[in-house]
Structure 1
């Protein structure tokens, strides 16, 4: 319970001090750090070379000199007005948890997080893409892999990614607190700060196992995690007719969700590492001609 109170106070302070900032910096930076620790040495060198050119982004108030800074760049530039407004829909894909999973209809014209992840990898692989565009593709990719692994960026109940799903967190329950901000901030902090450390070098077998799958597979997995979060917050099937107007994550629910969040953060980091290795590594062999 003490951790609930401490985390709640920290969130309250952050909301007052930086109302325009995202809650999820801690999660983004952790996923980026996991990836950086686990990429191949030549990939790490390629990342460093591109980030050394981050001035080409011309966003001095939003630096991207390190992979941790790069991981929050896409949120940092949101207040810059129309300049980056085209990227707003790339941060999420709100697939309804009360309907069968599909990305069709939930990624209009390819404007969603999963589609942009795939585009960014292709841009980094393309030798003809200018350096500035490669730097931007890198910072977008690092950020969007974090978004993809925050469950409330992957699934919701037609409630703006849980922003309209009011919920308490332990004894902390101001009126505007919602499930999205809990998953973005309070629960993310709890998961990351719970021992053991998440930013570690993983074995090759662990990297292969946790990094496996496609972007669509990862989207489905995080959509399922979103349903789990709603189930915990609203005491059962979140799609039933008598779901309460306000949810509550008590101590027991939080204890059940912490391992899920830790797993998704680790998966996000190792999957990002895999994509970065693929983006900066040699091109895949061409299929034999018939």
Structure 2
């Protein structure tokens, strides 16, 4: 299943020519997929292992940033990482918002999640028109993106990409703060810069702190395999209530912002991981 040869070629280029633009940073996507992989059913584990390239050695998390790195090759994929919503409405509507700059419907991160979920339902058939390895990697990545609040952000500032701030003493844009800086600062201060220790802490909280929320996170209404409208609606609410709140061009973001937003970042990473696992478990049966 899937075209391992073409995927390997893409990944070879990635390692010699990394791309800086991403959603969640590398660690955020790694955490999301690591959480998910620990929650897969045996059937889903077998399907994921069969779709991953052999050199991944069954580690989905190791390839969870692949979709960011192939933007230079798959130019068509860039709009699939985010959703632009009308400024300050703090709502998401599929027909209004899920389209690219040319107005093509479905070309946003919510539409991409639906598309790659549908493609993966071909798994187990004798033939498929889709590259199911790439479908798995795109879906896993986009489930992370849709849970980063500023990937469902305002149109005018491109999800915080044009809001210049200082993260403590360093210049940054607000979007980068949520992709990378909050997670990196958390790792440095509390986990000895060890992403595995942060992942373990979030997994512990999924069991102990958020245990009564997990079933609701996993559920989709009716026979749906995935519910990106729910994820996107939560995302724009978090963007308005936490990411954008109190921030203007030139803001200096220090401990008050970091410590109050840190729980939201960890909560969204946890939701993304739990939901990715639930989606894959539903897809693969």
Task: Name the TM-score, length of structure 1 as normaliser.
Answer: 0.74
Q: Which residue of 2 aligns with 1:98?
A: 88
Partners of 1:117 and 1:218 in 2: CA distance: 11
| 1:161 Cα deviation from its structure 2 partner | 1.4
Q: Which residue of 2 aligns with 1:209?
A: 216
CA deviation string 1:57-88 (max 9, x = no partner):
xxxxxx796311321111111233xxx11111
Which of 108, 113, 116 aligns to 1:117? It is 113
Which of 171, 174, 178 aligns to 2:173? It is 178
Is the CA contact (8 Å cut-off) linking 1:98 and 1:157 kept in structure 2?
no
Partners of 1:178 and 1:208 in 2: CA distance: 35
Is the CA contact (8 Å cut-off) linking 1:121 and 1:279 kept in structure 2?
yes
SS, match of residue 152 in structure 1: helix
Is the CA contact (8 Å cut-off) linking 1:95 and 1:103 kept in structure 2?
no
Alignment of 1:237-248 (within 5 A): 244-248=248-252
Matched, 1:189 2:198: no
Structure 2 residues not aligned, in runs of 5+: 1-16, 100-104, 191-197, 221-226
SS, match of residue 201 in structure 2: coil
Alignment of 1:145-184 (within 5 A): 145-156=143-154, 158-170=156-168, 172-174=169-171, 177-184=172-179
SS, match of residue 166 in structure 2: strand
Q: Which residue of 2 aligns with 1:272?
A: 276
Q: Which residue of 2 aligns with 1:239?
A: none
| 1:155 Cα deviation from its structure 2 partner | 1.5
| 1:233 Cα deviation from its structure 2 partner | 4.3
Quick check: which has more Rg, 1 or 2? 1
Name the count of aligned residue pairs. 242
Partners of 2:135 and 2:127 in 1: CA distance: 10
Partners of 2:153 and 2:243 in 1: CA distance: 10
Q: Which residue of 2 aligns with 1:58?
A: none
Partners of 1:66 and 1:148 in 2: CA distance: 22
Is the CA contact (8 Å cut-off) linking 2:19 and 2:68 kept in structure 1?
no
- Mark the CA change 1:52 to 1:226 in structure 2 (over 3 Å): closer, same or farther: same
Q: Which residue of 2 aligns with 1:223?
A: 236
- Mark the CA change 1:19 to 1:125 in structure 2 (over 3 Å): closer, same or farther: closer
Partners of 2:52 and 2:129 in 1: CA distance: 10
Partners of 1:34 and 1:113 in 2: CA distance: 20
Task: Name the TM-score, length of structure 2 as normaliser.
Answer: 0.76
* CA-based RMSD: 2.7
Is the CA contact (8 Å cut-off) linking 2:84 and 2:152 kept in structure 1?
yes
- Mark the CA change 1:128 to 1:114 in structure 2 (over 3 Å): closer, same or farther: farther
Alignment of 1:131-146 (within 5 A): 133-146=131-144
- Mark the CA change 1:21 to 1:219 in structure 2 (over 3 Å): closer, same or farther: closer
| 1:228 Cα deviation from its structure 2 partner | 2.4
Is the CA contact (8 Å cut-off) linking 1:32 and 1:71 kept in structure 2?
yes
CA deviation string 1:196-233 (max 9, x = no partner):
61245849865423323521011000111111234444
Matched, 1:249 2:262: no
Is the CA contact (8 Å cut-off) linking 1:20 and 1:79 kept in structure 2?
no
Q: Which residue of 2 aligns with 1:20?
A: 20
Alignment of 1:24-39 (within 5 A): 24-39=25-40
